[in-house]
Every structure is written in structure tokens, then in C-alpha cells.
A and B are shown apart, each in its own frame.
Chain A
């Protein structure tokens, strides 16, 4: 099992460009999450999904959109990137609301 994978691993964007980050899990987990982590700060939840076709806002959703068309995939979109979105983005999944989360390796995004 690959666990949780994320693509791409690194990306540099110019202000105003758009991109999509892909998260995939092969553990048949219902719950998937997108976090961002900035230097010296903890993980902040952007959006999450409690099952295929569902999404919900987390703590810092502005400027991001998500989709969960297939159970195994959770996409994070930036429609018009801003320098404030420079961060490391982690995807995570879990089997239930009380089980542990498994994290992907992260995407390092720089917006110039």
C-alpha cells in the first residue's frame, strides 16, 4: 500500500496563476483533510471531506476550493494564487472520526 500520496511535491507559481493539488489514498478511508503549515505555526485545516461527494470548510478556507469526486482522491484548488498562500500543504486521511490520521508527504508551494 502506498498510503497517502500527494502530487506535485514542489511548485512555484506566479501571483494570479491557478493550480490543483492532488491527494490520493489507497486505504479506503472515508475522511480526508487538507492542511497548511507555515513556519513556526501549527497545522491549520483548510477543508475536509467526510465521504465521496462531500466537502466542508475548515479553519482557513478562503482562496481555496476542493472536490471529492472519487473516494480515494481529494483535490485542492487555488483559483488565483497569492503570496500569502506560500506554504507547505499536507493531505491526511482517516478511517473514522476517532481513528488516527495518515499524512501525505506534503506539497511545498511558493507563490511569487
Chain B
């Protein structure tokens, strides 16, 4: 089983739609969780950290389910500009230096 798994997609949705991605992780001792966005041939950029109680940033909501070992990202009112690849990243426990990246989920928002 891969350490961090994501559905590669692509998720093809119309503008204005709500779309959700999940990411599962295998190490129950993982401590921190992030969603990154990567545009084609550009560097990954932090979209949001994921907190235990869940957190929201505008149209984006992230959730963590430690019992089932997954994190989720919900995008409401999708925009054309949301088209990108979304990477799930898991870090920790504290002695582990190397973050674990998912392979990414591709989102295409069409008019």
C-alpha cells in the first residue's frame, strides 16, 4: 500500500460546481497535513494546512479524519482558475525528515 494515495482523476467539472478530493495515508503517527496546488510546469504552492478541527479558507474547506486516516479538500463554486493538480502532503512523526507526497489529483473546470 502506498503511503499517501490520491485519485489521479481528472475530475472534470463545470464552473460553479462543488468538487471534493480525498487523500488516504498509511502512517497513523503522521502529524501534519497539507494541500498544495500545482499548475502545469510550475512549482507546488501551499493551498492550505489541514487542522484536526477542519478549516476553511474562502471557497476551500479541508478536513482531517484521523480514525480513518484520510484528509479531504472541498472546493465550492469552482472557477476556471481552479484548474490545476492538487497534491496531498503528509509529514511526521517529528523524527521523520521527509514529507510524503501524493501523486496529485487533476482538476479541470470547464465553462
Footprint of B on A, CB under 8 Å?
Answer: 31, 33, 41-43, 45, 48, 50, 56, 58, 88, 90, 94, 96-106, 108
CB atoms of A50 and B97 under 8 A apart: yes
Q: How many residues in B have their beta carbons less than 8 Å from beta carbons of A?
A: 24
Residues in A whose Cβ lies below 8 Å from that of B41: 88, 106, 108
Looking across the interface, which residue of chain A has its beta carbon closest to that of B92?
A98
Q: Contacts A42-B102, A42-B104, A100-B49; is A90 near B44 (CB within 8 Å)? A: yes
Q: List 9 A-B contacts (CB under 8 A).
A: A31-B97, A42-B103, A43-B87, A58-B98, A94-B99, A97-B91, A99-B32, A100-B49, A105-B42
In the complex, given contacts A90-B44, A96-B94, A98-B91, what are 20 additional A-B residue pairs having Cβ atoms less than 8 angstroms apart? Answer: A33-B98, A41-B103, A42-B87, A42-B101, A42-B104, A43-B87, A50-B97, A58-B98, A94-B99, A97-B92, A97-B94, A99-B91, A100-B32, A101-B99, A103-B43, A103-B44, A105-B42, A106-B41, A106-B43, A108-B41
Footprint of A on B, CB under 8 Å?
Answer: 31-32, 34, 41-46, 49, 87, 89, 91-92, 94-99, 101-104
Q: Is the interface of B mostly helix, strand, loop or mixed?
A: loop
In the complex, A58 Cα to B41 Cα: how many Å? 22
Looking across the interface, which residue of chain A has its beta carbon closest to that of B99?
A101
CB atoms of B34 and A100 under 8 A apart: yes
Looking across the interface, which residue of chain A has its beta carbon closest to that of B6?
A42
CB atoms of A48 and B46 under 8 A apart: no
Residues in A whose Cβ lies below 8 Å from that of B87: 42-43
Residues in B whose Cβ lies below 8 Å from that of A96: 94
CB atoms of B101 and A43 under 8 A apart: yes
